[in-house]
Amino acid sequence: MKYLSLAALLALTGCAANQPTATAPPATVPPSTAPLTKPMTTIDNNTTDEQPQDHKLVIYQLMTRLFGNKTALNKPYGTIQENGSGKFNDITDQALLAIKKMGASHVWFTGVLEHATMTDYTKYGMPLDDADVVKGRAGSPYAIKDYYDVAPDLAVDVKNRMQEFEALVKRTHAHDLKVIIDFIPNHVARTYKSDARPAGVVDLGEQDDKTQAFKPSNNFYYLPGQRFVVPADYNPLGALKGPGEDGKFNENPAKATGNDVFSATPSVNDWFETIKLNYGVDYQNGRQSHFEPIPDTWTKMRDILVFWAKKDVDGFRCDMAEMVPVEFWAWVIPELKKVKPDLVFIGEAYDAKTYQMYIERGHFDYLYDKVGLYDGLRRLMRNEGTTQDITRVWSQESRGFSGHMLRFLENHDEQRIASPDFAGNARAAIPAMTVSATLGTGPVMLYFGQDVGEPAQASEGFSGEDGRTTIFDYWGVPQHQKWMNGGKFDGGRLSPEQRQLHDFYARLLTLTSQREAIRRGRFYELQDTYNLDPQYHQDRVYSYLRYTDTERLLIVVNFSPDQTYRPNLQLPEKVLERLGLAGNQLYTYTELLSQAPATSNLTVTLAPQSAYIFEIKAK
């Protein structure tokens, strides 16, 4: 897509008011003779001693079932015939080119593996699932039915569904994009049975001793003598009737439920549609571990990962990674990297106390930064928190390993920024996304539709109106469909405001992917530097430097939804020295998001919900 004019983008980011006055004195700087990435010799509370490394993946996440769907009927609880479904083939060269133009390096194709569904594919040899243990008409993509197969919903020719996926992988690589898919290690659908497994592969649970509640060699946990009971208040399709729906499901003995519920009667709020996999931890006996010999589940899951690695997948987003023992990851990730050394492993993680362990001992490349940066930025976007939340993340929670934390503002689990449940305004993302993308050297992620302000305003069926885009129902995503424009992927149906928002994301993520100071530069917070400026307002304004020996960037954002600030952002001597800038040489500032002309001072107007990235150069 073409970028907007400079004036339009300035209006979006607030930079239209960011024309410095002529009264501020010019600063002077000399060139540096020492590498700017050299560690400082004194302790400074505005930075850390983390040695920056380039981990700057730019991940575009798309829900495969929804991304290419052009149908706009959007009937609650609608069938695939009524509401449609995106296909692998809908992710065309044009789509991938548009994603690449947004600065992406990786695409996470969410929901690829075959999962339980209420759609009938029996004529293709796939058993029909019981609606009593399926969430939503389309089904949860995290209730895996066959680890060795892809979802039939995603294929034009169901018989050739794997070939269509393989073609998508090749197409993606042809655009210099890498492929990430989900790996769901903790649980599977209650109806799990692999029909597509390679010859000689023993299926999960096939050789289990079901008389034992726990046995190290079993793949599942059992409740001997008890039958599984469907939650009494579960209503799969509202007023409609689902396949096999009778309030019963034949599972005897009952298996433990995926969210560690060791009961034959899980509640409707549990992950009752899934069953927990056994990695050698006896949960009901003090969580005793039995890791020698290597548990059978470990080897089966390794083989599944190898299968997909050999399909030329480049990485795995590992669902609920902390619900699987770190010892498994410590073993399996090196095993996989023997097969494909450049594989990327991203862990969905929520316990900050275990982050370092899962990175160092578990060998994860990256972990979700959800309970830290995401939650803090969410509060700021809702005008509830302060910038101290950002400081706490880099200075305490992820200190020393921030380059391994994946930052994001939306994904398939979280509410849409533009929804009333979150910020109610897509512009609130401008300062927050700038921080997410540029605060550290780690990866950043964009969810499809985020860049056009998709508000998820609908009750899709199983997913009520909760500010999230459904992952359980067949649906068209209205604002994203405007960008998709019937398969042209040119934004042809977007409003001017949506075009501006999309162009902001494209500029930001392109800068993120290309600028060395963001990819591998050091970090220095400037909150203390400007704490005496009455126009700075530290609770809502946040600023920091990212720099190497050849590039210096100053990032400033204003989270306030309604206040404009006009601080003087001149850099004091100690900061100039850190940047290798001192003496009497003049330097200039160029605002990169708006591509505004260079200026020689930093008295700026920070519009509400705005972001600025200044490049500092010696004249």
Per-position DSSP letters for 271-301, written without gaps between them: -TTEEEB-SSEETTTTTEE--SSPPHHHHHH
Contacts of 365 (CB under 8 A, 6+ apart): 55, 315, 344, 345, 346, 404
Structure tokens at 296: 């059978």
HSE toward the beta carbon, residue 523, CA cutoff 13 A: 30
Instruction: Give the mean model confidence (pLDDT) for residues 381-392.
Output: 98
Mean pLDDT of the chain: 93
Instruction: Give the mean model confidence (pLDDT) for residues 582-605.
Output: 88
**Rounded Cα gap, residues 428 and 324, in angstroms:** 36
Instruction: Give the mean model confidence (pLDDT) for residues 479-496.
Output: 98
Asked if the model's pLDDT at residue 196 lies above 70, the reply is yes
Find, among 265, 230, 262, the residue nearest to 246 by Cα: 230
Domains of the chain with bracketed CATH: 58-208+282-513 (3.20.20.80), 522-618 (2.60.40.1180)
CB atoms within 10 A of CB 441: 24
Burial zone of 89 (CB within 10 Å; 0-12 exposed, 13-18 middle, 19+ buried): middle
Asked if the model's pLDDT at residue 301 lies above 70, the reply is yes
pLDDT of residue 326: 98
pTM of the model: 0.93
Buried b (16+ CB within 10 A) or exposed e, 508-527: bbbbbbebbbbbbbbbbbbb
The DSSP H or E segment spanning 109 is strand 106-110
Find, among 541, 614, 616, 611, the residue nearest to 578 by Cα: 616
Least confident of 7-21, 145-159, 211-225, 552-566: 7-21
Tell me phi and psi for residue 390, to 5 degrees.
Answer: -70, -45
pLDDT of residue 43: 61
The DSSP H or E segment spanning 520 is helix 516-520
* pLDDT bucket at 583, cuts 50 / 70 / 90: low
Pairing of strands 366-368, 344-347: parallel
Tens digits of residue pLDDT in 126-166: 999 999 999 999 999 999 999 999 999 999 999 999 999 99
Structure tokens at 604: 């700026």
pLDDT of residue 573: 87
pLDDT of residue 582: 74
**Rounded Cα gap, residues 11 and 16, in angstroms:** 5
Percentage of the chain lying above the pLDDT 90 cut: 90
Instruction: Give the mean model confidence (pLDDT) for residues 394-422.
Output: 98
* pLDDT bucket at 3, cuts 50 / 70 / 90: very low
Q: Strand pairing partners for 565?
A: 606
Tens digits of residue pLDDT in 77-109: 999 999 999 999 999 999 999 999 999 999 999
Asked if the model's pLDDT at residue 30 lies above 50, the reply is no
CB atoms within 10 A of CB 190: 26
Structure tokens at 528: 């203390």
* pLDDT bucket at 25, cuts 50 / 70 / 90: very low
